[in-house]
Structure 1
Amino acid sequence: MKYAIIIGGFLSTGLVQALAGPSPGECLEYILGSKNVPVKWINDPAYGDLTEPFNLRLQYKPIAIVIPTTNQHVQDAVVAAGKCGVKVQAKSGGHSYASFSSGGQDGSMMIDLQSFQEVTVDQNTGIATVGAGVRIGNLAQGIWDQGKRALPHGTCPGVGIGGHATHGGYGHASRNWGLSMDTIVGAEVVLADGSLVYASANQNFELYWAIRGAAESFGIITSFKFQTRNAPESVTYFQFQWSGLFKSKTDFVKTFLHIQDFATNGTVVDNRISFGIYMDGTVVSLGGAFFGSVEEFEQRVKPEFLRGVPAPVNVNVGSYSWYDYLVLVSDKDTIKEPLTGYDEHDHFFAKSVTVPEKDGLKENTFNQLWDYLSKGSPAPYFIITNLYGGPGSSINYKTEHFAAYADRDSLWVLQNYGDTENPANIDFINGINDVIIKSQPETTFGAYLNYVDPSYDAATAHKVYYGDAIYGKLLKLKQKYDPRKIFWNPQAIGA
């Protein structure tokens, strides 16, 4: 064989080039085969299912799909990619809005972590060891079953914990408990040189800081340590729904200004309350969690929530166990997800806006937004506006020195999401962002990385997701840990 000579167990980079150049695929096939690394190639019957992304609008063809069952498999695969000149990205759950878990381009190596399914809680410390291929619903189920433990996280049970927690991880417990990211106390990470290291507050702190915000640019996390907590005995769920706010500009603007005033009112709001606002051009629905009794909510919170705004057409307030609450907000019958054969997909484009707490959204912005939305959209869309800041928020309590996460000063985080079976909806979704940003030229808006927007060039993505200070620090660490940029996607650090 023309590429059968090996040095130290691997083809050297120089030798690969000198041997009349085996292709990257031939190079990978030889090295991965010599190490017995499980891998699927493009001609494998399973390739199509393994590469089908959550966002069907953005489909890429990896050169190889590694399906490791051990840390060593991951290490060998990363080294092989480096030897063969192939970029690498990990797939935890596969819900990347930009399909970056497929590489964000054709020809990358996907490392699919579906076999890393451990969920084990230390009964003395409450620390959960969690495989990087675990989906949120199975994580929540696992720690509940092992002593009624809980973590802050999102509501969609099919999302993988890897991307979710390393880019933030907001949920209705986050103003009380922090983001998923904030509960990471350690992680096993495979670096670009194939070494396996542990990152925590006491070991490899620079790496620990970087992976909480930009993990996909620094390595492959195979296992997390999360500090869980006792689940609350009960949670008060609330939902208010309006159907006429898009018919009246006055009512729309008045209602949203009041909700914003309420969210910043320290005499009523503390970190026990979290909520999000959903609207789709027809319905406005405000729902969330209150970590207090139904009686307290009805007597102290609800009257202030609804004071001076149009009466909702539907009001729902009730008490749930923590587990039943998770099922309720998942919009499913169970939070358990299949370990194989997961098959949820959409065809969409999404953007986000983070709104600084010091500015909020102005009356003129709500006026302009109503004008824009009231014209209608070419296809279905929705906007979800989540409260991050406000009095006592545990999200905003930490600073950029804690982790490589830039949204610690946000009052609101908006997700603007549209169906793109009709491509014209892409322009409509872009227009939502434009209206908000242009209405407040004095405000420096950002964006939330878990709603990653593939339309941004790398420089813009770095600016809106990290800001100059955090990105500058990340870039220096990238040069230290991955100078050859093995871990890459179109918006990765250093891209």
Structure 2
Amino acid sequence: MSTPEKVPVLTTMYLSLPLLAFLFNFALDFSNAVPQNPRGPRSSVTSCLTSRQVPYSVKGSVNYSSLSTPFNLRLPYQPAVITIPSTLDQVSYSVTCAAAAGLKVQAKGGGHSYASFSIGGQDGSLIIDMQTFSSITVDQSTFVAKIGAGQRLGNVALALYAQGKRALPHGTCPGVGIAGQALHGGYGYGSRSWGLTLDRIVALDVVLANGTQIHTTSTSYPDVFYAMRGAGNSFGIATYLYLSTVPAPTTVLSFSSDFSDSFHQVDIAAKGYAALQNFTLTSPAINSKLGFGVYIDTRGIIGLNGWCIDCSMLNLKNVILPGLISGFPGSKFTIQSYTWSQAVANIAGDPLSQPLGNAYTMHDTFYAKSIATRNSVPLSSAAIKNYLSYFVANEDGIPRIFSIMNLYGGPGSLINTPSPTSSAYSDRDSLWVIQNFARTPNGKPPFDPSLVSLVQGASNAVTSAQPDGMFQGYINYIDPLLTATQAAEQYYGAVTYSKLLGIKTKVDPGFLFWNPQAVGNSMAL
């Protein structure tokens, strides 16, 4: 396929606020003018796709239901068309046919979007299902892995280890898609040692809004490379990701500790949390090999879980863990030594080998919200106590809501090493990232709306008690109830968002790549 037009190499562009205001008013008018009724333009888009031999599914097709069912059943939407391309040209045609028909576009990799943005975040979008882009190849000279955008984390972990005992930092759920996670962050217990999944990206193959296929790096289309790493769903369709792998560690020491005896003793638990935070920030024993999170739920459970990668068992046992749990009287810990492949399988809970596309049938029904705290402004004693008190006040013996506070920052963390200007990922000063989460008991609808208020209350318990906390959010734990402006503020901040807006108006002036919180749906911050 000949590309529709040559895209110039982009340079960093900053727009004045008056010009931004003009562009965004224009963009919003354009967006509002685009018909969103799936019955309207469907015939024209399907004719276009048929003429270009692009496989697709529409309502009434045998596979439409399985292709359009979201991971989060709380947020179902009806795409106008779902394409299932198997070639780069078919991806390009999917994009250009959607544009000609006035449809908005989103890609679906693993489909685990908390907000169902991978099926559009609205009715009537064109969804490009990337399930056939599934190859995983490790270059044995550079150890860069080329991974198709339809792959899932468990399969990636297995393939990398099989091709030279290589590894990547990534999340624990084996069914999560590599593309969505990597393009917007990607945290795992190895991230303090190796960075986020996003930080391992060295190149991307991307289809732009005009159908052009590009290979982007830090020197080739550098602004697209910047924007895709942190805001990918607003800028293009990633078809292949190139990630720099690391040697898989020889041993992983997996550890845990139970603090539940302190649950009803809020003063003691709060002092324990504060002591844990202080030890994390100040002890010379803490280094990048350590990764952990603290869990709490409304059953009255509090606990710590984590890894230490290629660590000294004696140092972990005699120095690090005693220091972390010193504020919780009587608490003990366990340590288990694993190989890398054993550790990844153990934490996954489900088989690492996972089906692709609509053959994957795992679903949930939930609402989540995140808080990213800062190294420069650790959690205050008041915020910690308010947070713990909230869970005690809402204890009812069942895990209606739970919270995981993962360590991102602290001494030596490679999450915080890259410059804030190196990518569109903005949480480079994070200390903790807190995910507050509520789901139905069986993971199926209906969803009790009161759970939304419970989750929001858990977040507010922290932020209201520390008004100077400069809190942000983590986009992979996306909150669909945020307005576009709130999302821009929490996930990017003013400086990054301004730069993204300039790039967006250059590479996607029609705002084709759209979801309710996409870059361009908010005015300048």
Aligned to 1:44: 61
Provide, for residues 275-315 of structure 1, a one-character-per-residue CA deviation record: whole Å limited to 9, x for no partner: 01111131112111112032221122122123242223x62
Q: Mind listing any 5+ residue stretches in structure 2 that lack a counterpart?
A: 5-33, 441-446
2:172–2:188: 8 Å Cα contact kept in structure 1? yes
Alignment match of 1:228 (pick from 245, 250, 263): 245
- 1:359 corresponds to which of 361, 377, 383: 377
Map residues 93-492 of structure 1 onto 2, 5 A cutoff.
Answer: 93-281=110-298, 282-291=300-309, 292-312=311-331, 315-332=333-350, 334-339=351-356, 341-376=359-394, 380-420=400-440, 421-492=447-518
Q: CA deviation at 1:154?
A: 0.6
TM-score by structure 2 length?
0.88
* 1:107-134 Cα deviation digits (max 9, x unpaired): 0011100111010001111010000000
CA contact (8 A) 2:366 2:437 kept: yes
**Per the alignment, in what secondary structure is the counterpart of residue 76 of structure 1?**
helix
CA distance in 1, matches of 2:208, 2:395: 45
Contact 2:269 2:328 in 1 (8 A): no
Is residue 2:95 matched to residue 1:78? yes
Q: Secondary structure, in 3 states, of the residue corresponding to 1:65?
A: strand
The C-alpha deviation readout for 1:59-111, integer Å capped at 9, x for no partner, is: 00000010011111100010001101000000010000000000000000111
Is the 8 Å Cα contact of residues 293 and 319 (structure 1) preserved in structure 2?
no
CA distance in 2, matches of 1:246, 1:315: 17
Q: 2 CA distance for matches of 1:267 and 1:45?
A: 60
Shift of 1:212: 0.2
How many Å apart are 1:33 and its aligned residue? Answer: 0.5
1:465, 1:77 → 2: CA distance? Answer: 29
Partners of 1:350 and 1:159 lie apart in 2 by: 16
Q: Provide the secondary structure at the position in 2 that maps to 1:412.
A: strand
Letter in 2 for 1:330: A
**Which amino acid in the other structure matches residue 134 of structure 2?**
Q
Q: Which amino acid aligns with 1:215?
A: G
C-alpha separation between the residues in 1 aligned to 2:241 and 2:146? 6
* Contact 2:321–2:333, Cα closer than 8 Å, also in 1: no
For 1:147-200, what per-residue CA distance to the aligned partner results, in whole angstroms no more than 9, with x for missing partners? 100011011110001110011100000000100000000000000000000110
Q: Is the 8 A contact 1:377 1:428 kept in 2?
A: no
Cα distance in structure 2, aligned partners of 1:245 and 1:102? 43
**Which stretch of the first structure deviates more once superposed, 173-182 or 238-247?**
238-247
| Paired AA for residue 484 in structure 1 | G
> Matched residues in 1 for 2:395 and 2:99: separation?
46
Once residues 266 and 208 of structure 1 are traced to their aligned partners in structure 2, the CA distance between those partners, rounded to angstroms, is: 37
Contact 2:132 2:150 in 1 (8 A): yes
Per-residue deviation, 1:266: 3.7
Post-superposition shift, 1:359? Answer: 1.1
Q: Aligned partner of 1:297: which letter? A: L
Counterpart amino acid of 1:409? Answer: D
Partner SS, residue 439 of structure 1: coil
Output the aligned Cα RMSD. Answer: 1.4
Instruction: Assess if the C-alpha contact under 8 Å between 2:379 and 2:469 holds in 1.
Output: no
Which residue does the alignment assign to 2:18?
none
Aligned mates of 1:235, 1:375 — CA distance in 2: 37
Per-residue CA shift, 1:455-491, capped at 9, x if unaligned? 0000010000000000000000000000000000000
Structure 1 equivalent of residue 443 of structure 2: none
Q: For 2:109, give the aligned amino acid.
A: S
Pick from 77, 85, 88 the counterpart of residue 68 of structure 1: 85
For residue 301 of structure 1, what is the amino acid of its counterpart?
I
Contact 1:294/1:318 (8 A) holds in 2: no
Is the contact made by 1:235 and 1:293 (CA closer than 8 Å) also made in structure 2? no
For the residues of structure 1 that align with 2:100 and 2:327, how far apart are their CA atoms? Answer: 65
> What is the deviation of 1:335?
1.0
Identity of aligned residues (%): 41
| Counterpart code for 2:376 | K
CA contact (8 A) 2:270 2:381 kept: yes
2:30 paired residue number: none
Corresponding residue SS for 2:514: coil
CA distance in 2, matches of 1:200, 1:62: 32
CA shift at 1:432, angstroms?
1.0
Distance 2:389 2:313 in 1: 37
The whole-number CA distance in structure 2 between the counterparts of 1:311 and 1:51 is: 50
SS of the counterpart of 2:493? helix
Compute the displacement of 1:377 (Å).
5.8
Q: How far, CA to CA, are the matches of 1:134 and 1:255 in structure 2?
A: 40
- Report the CA distance between 1:405 and its aligned residue: 0.8
Whole-Å Cα distance in 2 between the matches of residues 342 and 200 of structure 1? 32
